[in-house]
Amino acid sequence: EDQVTQSPEALRLQEGESSSLNCSYTVSGLRGLFWYRQDPGKGPEFLFTLYSAGEEKEKERLKATLTKKESFLHITAPKPEDSATYLCAVQEWGNAGNMLTFGGGTRLMVKP
């Protein structure tokens, strides 16, 4: 059974203090790994898709990387508006429906 574990559960940063969020996964065959951002009371907002080990994607202050066992979301010089819960999810090959299996999320708080 697919397992996705995110750490830490919560992270407090000062504005400008760079850090990384971790997503480790166990899946028979990874089709894709997805990062989403979720603000309180709202649906997840798509950020990145990674398909193979070594792949990297960037968007503004965020950079996602992928290895065979985990993914990292690096946040460079975060701002208070980056405060949100960051979710990672995996899709498995052989899963015709392409449904996502999510981790529990990392709640990021950036203080000014």
Partner 1 sequence: DTGVSQDPRHKITKRGQNVTFRCDPISEHNRLYWYRQTLGQGPEFLTYFQNEAQLEKSRLLSDRFSAERPKGSFSTLEIQRTEQGDSAMYLCASSPDRGEQYFGPGTRLTVT
Q: Which is nearer to partner 1, 45 or 58 (CB)?
A: 45
**What is the spatial distance between Cα 103 and Cα 112, in angstroms, rounded to a whole number?**
28
Find the shortest distance in angstroms from Cβ 104 to partner 1.
Answer: 5
The yes or no reply on residue 87 touching partner 1 (CB under 8 A) is yes
Bridge partners (DSSP) listed for residue 90: 33, 101
Nearer to partner 1, 78 or 105 (CB): 105
**C-alpha–C-alpha distance, residues 58 and 55, integer Å:** 10
60 or 112: whose CB is closer to partner 1?
60
Q: Cβ-count burial of 74 within 10 angstroms (0-12 exposed, 13-18 middle, 19+ buried)?
A: middle
Q: How far apart are CA 84 and CA 2, in angstroms?
A: 25
Shortest gap between Cβ of 43 and partner 1 (angstroms)? 4
Closest CB to partner 1 among residues 57, 74: 57
Q: Does 19 bind partner 1 (CB under 8 A)?
A: no
Contact by Cβ (8 Å): 89, 34 = yes
Residues 31-60 that bind partner 1 (CB under 8 A): 34, 36, 41-46, 49
Tell me which residue has tokens 């992270």: 11
Q: Please give the residue ranges that form the binding site for partner 1 (CB under 8 A).
A: 4, 6, 34, 36, 41-46, 49, 87, 89, 96-105
